[in-house]
């Protein structure tokens, strides 16, 4: 009989990285990654950028196949029994494990309770559908001015759509900090985006398909294509009754441990620090770094390298390619290391109580160098 091995729930960035990390840390038993999507694992950041703009195909976003000895099982996990060390799959099959990785990520948040008729962007299928819809529309309305909403608006503008973004904030991507947010907002408006404040208590209109927004004052905004881009929710429902601490995510310690033999990583995770419970950090690099720790700690406990947040993020919209290392929002005075922020290219630094943030805007710099610059305090 095969001994129980490591079971990973979620076949995306965090799941694959955790599986590979457990292997590198010396685990030589079976590793099975369970994924409920109909595609081989793919890179999600490309969905709202090259894929949506049509410069990359759906096939080109697939992630490299993990090393030998890591198996995929297309299935949906519906329950976790940490006492018996079992994952239950839809259909009732159970898998025993010696260690389990929770990497079930997040899904797009929707505004209607059942999400009926709403267009969102989270999966490869969403992106392929949205690209087609952009191609057939004359006008687009994006609800939400975060980074996904902004990238979708950019793809709409590039395709020639009359594009409106409705946001609770008066600039786009405000969580990057005032300077970068203003830069992106200026570029968006220059490209033709109409940015409107989200009215209080809006209601989506349209039944089979959302056709617009209605505000309580009776004003209505309509478009051929309406996209909801209002953040994401962690996929934790399958863990109900597991006994794990679930607070808008799976709560883990600095070794990404949720319980004995249970680790978690990626968009589904909230890391408890010495004093506070951090918010989820639904970004690619955080997912990979948490996964590295999770895989190691499953094998070697507290000899693993603990997870220390080192924020790193990138976005591309309206002709601006921005890569940021360090805490966001970037706060304090903007120091120019190269180029000029108003002209939209160069290397910039902010220092605040939170730390040092460095951003490259349309400026080539090695990731390692950018990260090193954000660690320097002088």
Ligand X SMILES: Cc1cc2nc3c(=O)[nH]c(=O)nc-3n(C[C@H](O)[C@H](O)[C@H](O)COP(=O)(O)OP(=O)(O)OC[C@H]3O[C@@H](n4cnc5c(N)ncnc54)[C@H](O)[C@@H]3O)c2cc1C
Contact segment (CB under 6 A) with ligand X among 30-38, 65-73, 330-338, 341-349 equals 30-38
Lookup result for tokens 């002209």: 343
Which residues from 128-167 bind ligand X, rule CB under 6 A?
148
Tokens at residue 237, please? 């429902």
Instruction: Provide the mask over 109-128, with x wherever binding to ligand X is found by CB under 6 A and - wherever it is not.
Output: ------------xx------
Instruction: Provide the mask over 71-110, with x wherever binding to ligand X is found by CB under 6 A and - wherever it is not.
Output: -----xx-------------------------xxxx----
- CA angle centred on 235, ends 107 and 29, rounded to 5°: 120
48 binds ligand X (CB under 6 A): yes
Instruction: Provide the mask over 166-195, with x wherever binding to ligand X is found by CB under 6 A and - wherever it is not.
Output: ------------------------------
**Residue 351: partners with Cβ closer than 8 Å, 6 or more residues away:** 332, 333, 335, 377
Instruction: Provide the mask over 231-250, with x wherever binding to ligand X is found by CB under 6 A and - wherever it is not.
Output: ----x--x------------
> With CB under 6 A, what is the number of residues at the site for ligand X?
36
DSSP state of 208: S
**Beta strand 86-89 pairing with 203-205:** unpaired
> What minimum distance in Å lies between the beta carbon of 224 and ligand X?
21
> What minimum distance in Å lies between the beta carbon of 329 and ligand X?
15
Among 313, 318, 348, 350, binds ligand X (CB under 6 A): 313
What's the rounded Cα separation, in Å, for the pair 139 and 150?
Answer: 15
3-class DSSP state of 369: helix
Tokens at residue 347, please? 């290397």
Q: Where are the alpha helices (DSSP H) in the chain?
A: 13-24, 50-53, 124-135, 147-158, 178-191, 284-300, 367-375
What's the rounded Cα separation, in Å, for the pair 173 and 51?
Answer: 21
> What minimum distance in Å lies between the beta carbon of 277 and ligand X?
18
Which residues from 254-293 bind ligand X, rule CB under 6 A?
266-267, 282-285, 287
Contact segment (CB under 6 A) with ligand X among 45-53, 65-73, 155-163, 255-263 equals 45-53
Give the residue from 285, 351, 352 showing the smallest Cα distance to 315.
285
Question: Residue 44 or residue 371: which is nearer to ligand X going by CB?
Answer: 44
Tokens at residue 298, please? 């499953």
Question: Residue 14 or residue 134: which is nearer to ligand X going by CB?
Answer: 14
Lookup result for tokens 């929770």: 102
Contact segment (CB under 6 A) with ligand X among 9-17, 92-100, 137-145, 341-349 equals 9-17
- Tell me the C-alpha to C-alpha distance, in Å, between residue 240 and each of 65, 77, 237, 277, 279: 31, 12, 5, 20, 20
Q: Which residues bind ligand X (CB under 6 A)?
A: 9-15, 34-37, 44-45, 47-48, 76-77, 103-106, 121-122, 148, 235, 238, 266-267, 282-285, 287, 313-315
């Amino acid at each position: 009989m095969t001994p129980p091995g490591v079971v990973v729930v979620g076949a995306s960035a965090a799941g694959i990285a955790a599986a590979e990390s457990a292997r590198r840390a010396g685990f030589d038993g079976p590793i099975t990654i369970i994924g409920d999507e109909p595609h081989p694992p793919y890179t999600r950041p490309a969905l709202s950028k090259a894929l949506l703009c049509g410069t990359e195909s759906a096939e080109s976003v697939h992630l490299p196949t993990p090393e030998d000895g890591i198996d995929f099982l297309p299935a949906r996990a519906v329950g976790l029994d940490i006492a018996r060390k079992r994952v239950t799959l839809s259909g009732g099959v159970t898998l025993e494990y010696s260690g389990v990785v929770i990497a079930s990520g997040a899904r797009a948040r929707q505004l209607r309770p059942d999400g009926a008729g709403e267009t969102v962007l989270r999966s490869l299928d969403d992106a392929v559908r949205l690209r087609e819809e952009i191609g057939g529309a004359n006008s687009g309305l994006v609800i939400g001015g975060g980074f996904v909403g902004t990238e979708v608006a950019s793809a709409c503008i590039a395709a020639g759509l009359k594009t409106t973004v409705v946001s609770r904030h008066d600039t786009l991507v405000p969580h990057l900090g005032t300077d970068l947010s203003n830069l992106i907002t200026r570029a968006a408006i220059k490209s033709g985006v109409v940015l409107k404040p989200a009215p209080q208590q809006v209601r989506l209109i349209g039944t089979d398909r959302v056709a617009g927004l209605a505000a309580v004052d009776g004003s209505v905004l309509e478009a051929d294509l309406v996209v909801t881009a209002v953040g994401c929710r962690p996929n934790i429902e399958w863990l109900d009754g597991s006994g794990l601490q679930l607070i808008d995510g799976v709560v883990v310690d600095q070794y990404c441990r949720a319980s004995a033999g249970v680790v978690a990583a990626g968009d589904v995770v909230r890391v408890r620090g010495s004093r506070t419970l951090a918010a989820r950090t639904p970004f690619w690099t955080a997912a990979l770094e948490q996964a590295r720790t999770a895989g190691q700690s499953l094998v070697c406990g507290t000899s693993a390298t603990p997870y220390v947040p080192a924020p790193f993020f990138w976005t591309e919209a309206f002709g601006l390619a921005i890569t940021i290392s360090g805490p966001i929002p970037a706060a304090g005075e903007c120091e120019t290391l190269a180029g000029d922020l108003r002209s939209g290219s160069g290397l910039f630094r902010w220092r605040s109580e939170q730390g040092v943030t460095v951003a490259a805007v349309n400026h080539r710099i090695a990731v390692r160098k950018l990260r090193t610059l954000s660690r320097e305090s002088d």
